[in-house]
Amino acid sequence: MSNVPADRRYAKSHEWVKDAGDGVVEVGISDYAQSSLGDITYVELPAVGDTLEAGAVFGVVESVKAASDLYAPVSGEVVEVNEALDGAPELVNQEPYAGGWIMKVKVADAAAIDALLDSEAYTAETA
């Protein structure tokens, strides 16, 4: 049974978004996603300052098994990336909702967050 915390929203493409205040959200991938991928060996991060469009590819997460695109759950500007993942991509496996966060985004439209799935809907999606 995968872990789906209620304090954040989820995209069908398995990214999560958590309100970090001041119009900024933290983004990562779900426990379900990291578990499906298996051992993560590399995370290709976006650059700070990149402008993201919701639904577009913003990075790649590689596991022993496969390389998978990451999709921006919301539109906005990348204000910070988790540089710890360069040396320790396994953080995404170990702490998908904490130390394994991927980037912080200043969202263009706060309403877009509400359009994402809540934990119940995402749980149903991945059941």
Partner 1 sequence: MSELQRTPLHAFHVAHGGRMVDFAGWDMPVQYQSILEEHKAVRTTAGLFDVSHMGEADVTGPGAEAFLNRLVTNDVSKLYPGRVLYSPMCRPDGGVVDDLLVYMHEPERYFLVINASNIAKDLAWMREQAAGFDVTITDRSDDYALLAVQGPKAETILQSLTGAKLGMLRYYHFGEGTVAGVHCYISRTGYTGEDGFELYHATSDAPALAEAIMQAGAAHGLQLAGLGARDSLRLEAGYPLYGHELNDDLSPIAAGLGWTVKFQKEGSFTGAEALQAEKADPARRRVVFFRTGDRRIVRAGAEVLDASGAVVGSVLSGTMSPMLGEAIGSALVPAAAVEAGELAVDLRGKKFVLQLVKPPFVELKKSS
Binding region for partner 1 (CB under 8 A): 38-39, 41-42, 44, 60, 62, 64-65, 67, 89-90, 93
Tell me the closest approach of the beta carbon of residue 47 to partner 1, in angstroms: 14
- Kindly tell me which of 49 and 87 has the beta carbon lying closer to partner 1: 87
- Kindly tell me which of 61 and 117 has the beta carbon lying closer to partner 1: 61
Tell me the closest approach of the beta carbon of residue 39 to partner 1, in angstroms: 5
Distances (CA, A) of 71 to 1, 12, 87, 110: 24, 10, 22, 18
Kindly provide the residue ranges of all beta strands, DSSP E only, lying in the chain, ordered along the sequence. Answer: 9-10, 15-19, 24-29, 40-44, 51-52, 57-63, 67-71, 76-81, 103-107
